[in-house]
Amino acid sequence: MNKKIWLSSPHMEGSELELVKDAFESNWIAPLGPHVDAFEQDLASFTGTSHAAALSAGTAALHLALILSGVKPGDEVICQSFTFSASANPIVYIGATPVFVDSEPGTWNMDPDLLEKAIKDRLSKGRKVAAIIPVHLYGMPARMPEIMEVAGRYNIPVLEDAAEALGSNLNGKACGSWGDMGILSFNGNKIITTSGGGALLSDNEEMINKARFLASQARDAAPHYQHSQIGYNYRMSNISAAIGRGQMQVIADRVAKRRKNYEYYYTQLADVRGITFLNEPDGYYSNRWLTAILIDPATSKVSRETIRLALEKENIESRPLWKPMHLQPVFEGYTSYLNGVGEELFEKGLCLPSGSNLTESDLANVVSIIKSNTA
Ligand SMILES: *Cc1c(COP(=O)(O)O)cnc(C)c1O
């Protein structure tokens, strides 16, 4: 069997282990400590936000963002339909109701016009739209200026799911810094990882302080354990944060390498009949977390499944694009505003191996299998 080529695997540099050793030597083996503080500063300064809270997961960050935005049971929250389920699940944790909005073809992310249509329709039915969750899928920034304008018109907070977009920006402004709050993920498959972890970003210091408070069981200032609110155990461990600090030293290289992967696939495959890529609109800068191709069965004579299975046979992992939330059994019956874009992307799309630790020969291998199956 050939060596396994993963879709996106962890890529350690070496300094991570030194920093973890430091955590051991100083005995800061807890969900707080100097590496947590320093990692938070790294994240805030890298994304150009004033404050960051390091947390146990991106999902936890989004849960806290919804709580801090004042989302209440019975409220509605508009969420991009074409995304990973973790964008939508925290809405349900709160007892609020997700309303799904489809994507637009230029970024594959939330369609700002459809967003406005959805808001108007919800309001006309007497519903309260308490937050909006756009997502920057595969690292491509969503149309944030337009989304912020629509949200501003109706005074609805925007919680940006930038879990896949650390290192991406739009007109120089980082993904995660556009909305009222932004969330990041450092899960094992993301562009940098802390094994598992996430962060909440905001310019609003009070929100981030509250996030840290809620994430550490909502302990009031008292010598005994006293609580006036329900808390959560969502803080990041000092060990994980040590890994994160090491990863932040090489984030620029990681983005450069993932973008190079994209360039390689694009150069090799853009001429193959039936295969298309998502180009960056003017001013958009994607970290190219995952390179995704669309395979049009009408022109290429093969489907994305043919290619996925051909790669799998050679021990190469690839994966269909996210299955939209409005098509997920768990969200059956929820209200959605659709235009067919998410569904088409799901049918035609395939994510190719995109890790920053892939070699030139790994990439060449992937390309040659795709070429021989589309020829
Ligand atoms: C990974 C991911 C999350 C969740 O992050 P975790 O750290 O795994 O909880 C949320 N949204 C999107 C779009 C993701 O890709």
Q: What is the whole-number distance in angstroms between the Cα of residue 130 and the centre of ligand 1?
A: 21
Q: What is the whole-number distance in angstroms between the Cα of residue 49 and the centre of ligand 1?
A: 20
Residue 66 confidence (pLDDT) above 90: yes
Residues within 6 Å of ligand 1 by CB? 57-59, 83-84, 86-87, 135, 161, 163-164, 185, 187, 198
Q: Give the nearest ligand 1 atom to 186 CA.
A: 7
Q: Give the nearest ligand 1 atom to 61 CA.
A: 9
Q: Known catalytic residues?
A: 190
3-state secondary structure the chain: CCCCECCCCCCCCCHHHHHHHHHHHCCCCCCCCHHHHHHHHHHHHHHCCCEEEEECCHHHHHHHHHHHCCCCCCCEEEEECCCCHHHCHHHHHCCCEEEEECECCCCCCECHHHHHHHHHHHHHCCCCEEEEECECHHHCCCCHHHHHHHHHHCCCCEEEECCCCCCCEECCEECCCCCCEEEEECCCCCCCCCCCCEEEEECCHHHHHHHHHHHECCCCCCCCCCCCCCCCECECCHHHHHHHHHHHCCHHHHHHHHHHHHHHHHHHHCCCCCEEECCCCCCEECCCCCEEEEECHHHHCCCHHHHHHHHHHCCECCEECCCCHHHCHHHCCCCEECCCHHHHHHHHEEEECCCCCCCHHHHHHHHHHHHHHHC
- CA-closest residue to ligand 1 atom 2: 163
Mutate to test the pocket of ligand 1, among 7, 187, 236 (most ligand atoms within 8 A of CB): 187
Residue 2 confidence (pLDDT) above 90: no
- CA-closest residue to ligand 1 atom 6: 58
What domains does the chain contain, in order, with CATH numbers? 15-248 (3.40.640.10), 251-374 (3.90.1150.10)
- How confident is the model over 223-236, as a mean pLDDT? 96
pLDDT in the model for residue 95: 98
pLDDT in tens, 280-293: 999 999 999 999 99
Q: How confident is the model at residue 300 (pLDDT cuts 50, 70, 90)?
A: confident
pLDDT in the model for residue 65: 98
pLDDT in the model for residue 297: 87
pLDDT in the model for residue 319: 98
Q: What is the whole-number distance in angstroms between the Cα of residue 115 and the centre of ligand 1?
A: 22
pTM of the model: 0.97
